[in-house]
Amino acid sequence: IQMTQSPLILSASVGDRVTITCRASQNVNKWLAWYQQKPGKVPNVLISEASILKSGVPSRFSGSGSGTEFTLTISSLQPDDFATYYCQQHNSYPITFGQGTRLEIK
């Protein structure tokens, strides 16, 4: 299953609301996760099952969608949020990631 993220680069300012889209080439039901990765660091899972926030993740992050189209929304960008975000499907093997969306400071 191919995962396609858009945009690949997103420039935004602190306080902005931003949305990243992830599209699957086949139905993945709700089995989609979102990760955040900062330069030189390991990925950190933010959201599971398309919309379930991992404990400790700020509530400004939210996820939605099912089937083939999913979104990650950050309601009010904070300086710590500038990073690369990946979607990942685990509905079927092999597990696949999106290409990543780099969120940059405008």
Partner 1 sequence: EVQLLESGGGLVQPGGSLRLSCAASGFTFSNYAMSWVRQAPGKGLEWVSGLTGSGDRTYYADSVRGRFTISRDNSKNTLYLQMNSLRAEDTAVYYCAKDMTSGGNFITRSDYWGQGIVATVSS
* Footprint of partner 1 (CB under 8 A): 31, 33, 35, 37, 42-43, 45, 48, 54, 84, 86, 88, 90, 93-100
- CA 99-96-62 angle, to 5 degrees, is 70
DSSP 3-state percent helix, strand, coil across the chain (nearest 5)? 5, 50, 45
Nearer to partner 1 by Cβ, of 16 and 99: the residue is 99
DSSP state string for 2-48: -EEEE-SEEEE-TT--EEEEEEESS--TT-EEEEEE-TTS--EEEEE
Nearer to partner 1 by Cβ, of 31 and 82: the residue is 31
Shortest distance, position 76 Cβ to partner 1, whole Å: 25
Nearer to partner 1 by Cβ, of 33 and 77: the residue is 33
Q: Rounded to an integer, what distance in angstroms lies between the CA atom of residue 71 and that of residue 6?
A: 10
Nearer to partner 1 by Cβ, of 68 and 86: the residue is 86
Shortest distance, position 14 Cβ to partner 1, whole Å: 25
Shortest distance, position 68 Cβ to partner 1, whole Å: 18
